[in-house]
Structure 1
Amino acid sequence: MKTQSRINRNRHCDTYVMLSGATHLTSYSSVHQESSFISAHIGDKVTLQCFYDGDDSAWIFWYKQSLGHKPKLISSFYIYGTKRKLYNEFNNPRFQISTKNYTHSLTILDLHISDSATYYCAVNYAKVLTFAEGTVVRVIGSGSNIQLLVNQPEYESIQPGGSVTLNCTVQPGSCDGEHSVYWFKDSEESQPGLIYKHGTKNQCTTNPYIQTPSCVYNLAMKNLNASHVGTYYCAVATCGHITFGNGTTLHFSGGSYFNSNVSMYFCVGSLFGSLITLLIVLLIVIIKKKTERIHYQATGKVKINCHLFCSYLKVFLIHKTVPFQN
């Protein structure tokens, strides 16, 4: 049975490349992708959606980027045209592109393990290639000889300022080639992103308690705060395949982070309130003294040189003035 989970969110995108060869960074908010992370099983299909609401005569591209490799061009489409083109190994019935209104979709049929990658939608207008946020596709199944285990519970409780170590145990199976291990994070606050890469298997730490050949990779994090909350995935690239772990979700236990924030805000609020009270008291004292000086000036006993402060004082005291009686 087909299972597919999506984490939907809208974000702005950034421009990374100019076709002219120069490198620029700009912001282009009219193109984005619907999902940031999709999980599906071998043999299922996924549909990736790209939204572009510009009225310009632009080109729409789809790219695939496997971990540790350069992006590959999948397809191209001209907005005011009808011709869609698929390139190289993507020019087969498993890959389909379609357009409806402002939505440009890429559908992948009969998913393979090798389809695990990040897929980017891009818009080319005025020689500027603008990328959307990207969608990570994770293909789950037994089509690979790699057995990947993440030795962490599904949920891991953490404390503000504390530390945590995530473990990833890789059992290569019959694949003797070198492998690379990646950690990336998915959260509600930001799009999935690669946060760390280990080297080859020759640099791993072996596990003496497991009889089958395996390597253990650790991801240690210290001084934890709200930015660390999210799901961390371990991914292995080897023998032309990418295999993902199930992921470990980090969250603060018992609302400790919330309570610490409340305490901080309470202290700041109390300090601010005390400061306001002190200023009011000083203002009352100053007004009283200035009122007496104004009284002396009215009786002719003292001549006061009234500058800017007096102007403010008059405005402040205008509400205290008693109207003349007829």
Structure 2
Amino acid sequence: MIALCLIFPLLVEMAGTESSSISQEIGLISGNVGDTVVLRCFNAGDMGIMFSFYKQPFGNVPQLISTIYKYARNATFYHEFKGNPRFSVEGGQGKNNLMITDVELSDSGTYYCGSAYGYMVEFGQGFILIIKDSGSRNMPVIHQPVSESVQPGDSVTLNCTIHTETCAGEHSVYWFRHGSGESHPGIIYTHGERSDQCEKSLEAGSPTQSCVYNLPKRNLSLSDSGTYYCAVASCGEILFGNGTKLDIEAGGSVDLLLFVYCLAIALAFAFILIILLACMIYKMKNMSAVQ
């Protein structure tokens, strides 16, 4: 199950990089308990025969929600979604829109829409759905450094400090990355349910504890630039930190490239000068021979 949880997002990413015909209206959706949420997915190709929706709760394996054939009106639902009136699918003409009414905290997760033809299945990039409960209290407080600046090839450790007052030891921690040019943050790492990095408050009778989670990044490149968000799922909710902006300064590389260009130009001038001097010496020798 753990292997499936790790492999599934990779398969989705691989499928999405090869000119996927699946398009999504938005990737990151946030709502409150009781709202109605519509996850819109459209298949622009003609090959898709059956469309599907999967839900991957944070830290768990994907679950099949529904399937619907290209020209069918009604979708087939599976598992706990079967017979649940809160879930419905709008199909037809390449549409595969999933509607969730009266959303609950447990609806938070990543949703993938897929298109199947024969043995080939394409997936969209996925919707990250965050459901909040405005009436909840004592949610964790998350602190992250505002920014980090490093050079290509360097290493950095991003950290996230979480202060919890309730549900101590019953939280899961996730890291999301939002790179430049990307439509929404993508999950990159999870700590799962762990409390071995937490320290309880020294005050007698206090339920507060502080937890520090680190995300090491080594041999950084320009593609690692972006904003890294720490998120904690606790008491049935998930809360995001403000994020740490990681700037990869290409100054060293630019200076080296400029040096190489200048050296190449200097060598070119030296080569031209040598040719001119050779020509002058040759002419002078010819003139001496004539005299």
| Corresponding position of 2:14 | 14
Q: Give the drift of 1:62.
A: 0.6
Q: 1:229 aligns with which of 222, 225, 229?
A: 225
TM-score, normalised via structure 2 length:
0.73
Q: Is residue 2:214 matched to residue 1:219?
A: yes
> Which residue identity does 1:63 align to in structure 2?
Y
SS in 2 for 1:218: strand
Out of 247, 266, 269, the position equivalent to 2:261 is 269
Shift of the 283–242 alpha-carbon distance from structure 1 to 2, 3 Å rule, reads: farther
Instruction: Assess, with a 3 A threshold, how the Cα gap between structure 1 residues 281 and 45 changes in structure 2: closer, same or farther.
Output: farther
Provide Cα deviations, 1:102-139, integer angstroms capped at 9, x if missing partner.
Answer: 44322222222111101101111112222221121122
Partner of 1:206: helix, strand, or coil?
strand
CA distance in 2, matches of 1:194, 1:275: 49
Q: CA deviation at 1:220?
A: 4.2
What's the RMSD between the two structures over aligned residues?
Answer: 3.6
The structural deviation recorded for 1:92 is: 2.7
Specify the structure having the higher radius of gyration (Cα).
Answer: 1
- Deviation of 1:59 after TM superposition, in Å, equals 0.7
1:63 Cα deviation from its structure 2 partner: 0.4
Structure 2 residue 89 is matched with structure 1 residue 97: yes
Deviations 1:265-286 (A, max 9, x none): 4333323323443454466678
Secondary structure of the 1:39 match is: strand
Q: Matches of residues 1-326 of structure 1 in structure 2 within 5 Å? A: 13-15=13-15, 27=18, 29-90=20-81, 91-99=83-91, 101-142=93-134, 147-152=139-144, 155-160=146-151, 161=154, 163-171=156-164, 173=166, 175=167, 178-189=170-181, 192-198=185-191, 200-208=193-201, 211-221=206-216, 226-237=222-233, 241-252=236-247, 257=249, 259-260=251-252, 262-281=254-273, 288=279
Contact 2:74–2:91 (CA<8 Å) still a contact in 1? no
Structure 2 unmatched runs, 5+? 1-11, 287-291
Contact 2:32 2:134 in 1 (8 A): no
**Distance in 2 of aligned mates of 1:113 and 1:170:** 21
**Contact 2:113/2:123 (8 A) holds in 1:** yes
Distance verdict in 2 for CA 1:80–1:14, change over 3 Å: farther
| CA distance in structure 1 between the aligned counterparts of 2:197 and 2:26, rounded to whole angstroms | 33
Cα distance in 2 for residues equivalent to 1:63 and 1:54 = 20
Give the 3 Å change call, closer, same or farther, for CA 268–41 of structure 1 in structure 2. Answer: farther
Distance 1:249 1:61 in 2: 35
Say if 2:105 and 2:133, in contact at 8 Å, map to a contact too.
yes
Which position in structure 2 is the counterpart of 1:9? Answer: none
1:167 alignment partner AA: C
Report if the CA contact (8 A) 2:38-2:98 is conserved: yes
3-state SS in 1 of match to 2:60: coil
Question: Whose RCO is larger (CA < 8 A, sep 6+)?
Answer: 2
The 3-state SS of whatever aligns with 2:46 is coil
Structure 1 residue 150 displacement after superposition: 1.3
More deviation in 264-273 or 114-123?
264-273
